[in-house]
Amino acid sequence: MFDLSKIKADFPHLRREIDHSPVIYLDSANTSQKPAAVIEAMRSFTEQSYAPINRSAYRMAAAATDAFENARSLVASFINAGSPDEVVFTKNATESLNLFAQGWSRQHLKAGDVVVLTHMEHHANIVPWQMMVAERGITLRWIPLTDDGHLDLSDLDNILDGASVVSFTSMSNVLGTMNPVREIVQRSHDAGAIVMVDACQSVPHSVTDVQAMDADFIAFSGHKMLGPSGIGVLWGRPELLDQLPPLQGGGNMIDDVRLDTFTCAPVPAKFEAGTPPIIEAIGLGAAVEYLSSIGMAEIRRHEMELTQYALDTLSERFGSDIVIHGPRNVEERGGVLSFAFRDLHPHDVSQILDERNVCVRAGHHCAKPLMRLIGANATVRASLYLYNDTHDVDILADALTSADDIFGL
């Protein structure tokens, strides 16, 4: 049951006021706010259950280990993984993407091997590969964009020909475009490539089923899906996680260590050197329980309706004064609205919106290659989540009109 007023009430920070008026939080593609259930789970675990995991033999430590592993199981169920062992806890999606890019390149790729990316990637799925171009001599190929902000798949077979790896985003953090993940995964597999999906923007907002998606690896962050910062996930097929070397050595990741050698622990411990983000894992577990209690399909439906409302409202009120990037059809996009407003610089627009407590991102959104392609140094980005409503969109529109007063347009 999707009860928006109850959901809003679940988020303490959204009840906050600045200068006696409420905060309108439209920056969830950046990071999400946290429900009381997540905050309370972390607080009570810290107060009553905190102890080392996977090390000590006393009962409190065993209980903490169980709680940590229970969080892994909750995440595994949330994405329909075959087993909790397929879920590797990392710091964030960026670390997951680096772990895969560096590890896979060093172990399996040689000079001239081809990695395919797209023009709509976040820097986190570009720069790690560029580092491997420098280190391993791999070659990058790019899937371009169409004018309306979709991936241009017209030449995909040629681009995929001979590729070793394809790594692409399920949803653009700038354009909102939701990519045809299954089609691209299937065609990449047909071409013999290993596939990584940067699912950072889609996992928080829609049903994720890694078995149906059929990719080999996916990466996402906890903090964008109501969980705390400091924890992310790398999911992988078990047989491929076995073939991926760890990036960090240390405690917890070993099976045995001698003076001249070591052997790795099984997956996922192999990738989790050192004390992991224990409290954060508890928080992420609570976050996926909260999301599941509302229902990811319900959340997606709500965001589609709200995105449609936002597209309609902004277009009706501002006409050609506002240019919203990305697809118009809400079936093909998420609730990420990047726009240009008149000829005002996004930084100024953001400042004017902040006066009304409207929180948006202004900038390049860590996707500078894409920004150059759409011909903008920066955009304003308002992004929606389950706790936003039409009132938030109305306040955004009202606040934009006050740009008139200041810039005298």
Partner 1 sequence: MPGLEDLYREIILDHYRNPRNRGALETPPAVSADGHNPLCGDEITLFVLVEDDIVADIKSSGQGCSISQSSASMMTQAVRGKSVAEAEALIHHFKHMMSIEDHHHDEPAEAPALGDLEALQGVVKFPVRIKCAVLAWNTLSQALESA
Q: Return the residue of 76, 88, 346, 393 that touches partner 1, per CB under 8 A.
A: 346
Contact 71, 207 (CB under 8 A): no
Query: Does 182 contact partner 1 by CB under 8 A?
Result: no
Nearer to partner 1, 182 or 347 (CB): 347
Query: Does 377 contact partner 1 by CB under 8 A?
Result: yes
Nearer to partner 1, 218 or 400 (CB): 400
Cα→Cα distances 218→99, 114, 235, 283, Å:
11, 19, 5, 20
Cα→Cα distances 199→90, 121, 209, 225, 343, Å:
14, 11, 11, 11, 33
Query: Does 21 contact partner 1 by CB under 8 A?
Result: no
Query: Does 203 contact partner 1 by CB under 8 A?
Result: no
Nearer to partner 1, 41 or 362 (CB): 362
Write b or e for each residue in 360-383: b if 16 or more Cβ atoms lie within 10 A of its Cβ, otherwise e: bbbbbbbbeebbeebebebbbbbb
Query: Does 404 contact partner 1 by CB under 8 A?
Result: no
Which residue in the block uniquely carries the two structure tokens 């902040």? Answer: 354
Q: Strand runs (DSSP E) across 269-346, as ranges?
A: 322-324, 336-341
Contact 264, 276 (CB under 8 A): no
Q: Return the residue of 139, 240, 345, 397 that touches partner 1, per CB under 8 A.
A: 345
Catalytic pick among 200, 264, 359, 366: 366
Total Cβ atoms within 10 A of residue 182: 12
Query: Does 52 contact partner 1 by CB under 8 A?
Result: no
Query: Does 370 contact partner 1 by CB under 8 A?
Result: no
Query: Does 406 contact partner 1 by CB under 8 A?
Result: yes
Query: Does 351 contact partner 1 by CB under 8 A?
Result: yes
**Dihedral sign, CA of 404, 353, 392, 27?**
positive
Query: Does 348 contact partner 1 by CB under 8 A?
Result: yes
- Enumerate residues 6+ apart whose C-beta is below 8 A from 73: 84
Nearer to partner 1, 146 or 377 (CB): 377
CB of 161 to partner 1, least distance (A): 35
Indicate if 366 belongs to the active site: yes
Nearer to partner 1, 312 or 355 (CB): 355
DSSP-assigned states of every residue in 216-245: SEEEEESGGGTS-TT-EEEEE-HHHHHHSP
Which residue in the block uniquely carries the two structure tokens 């999906």? Answer: 197
Q: How many residues bind partner 1 (CB under 8 A)?
A: 19
Binding marks (x or -) toward partner 1, 247..276, rule CB under 8 A?
------------------------------
Total Cβ atoms within 10 A of residue 295: 15
Which residues participate in catalysis according to the annotation?
A: 366
Chain positions contacting partner 1, by CB under 8 A: 18-19, 345-348, 351-352, 355, 362-364, 368, 371, 377-378, 406-408
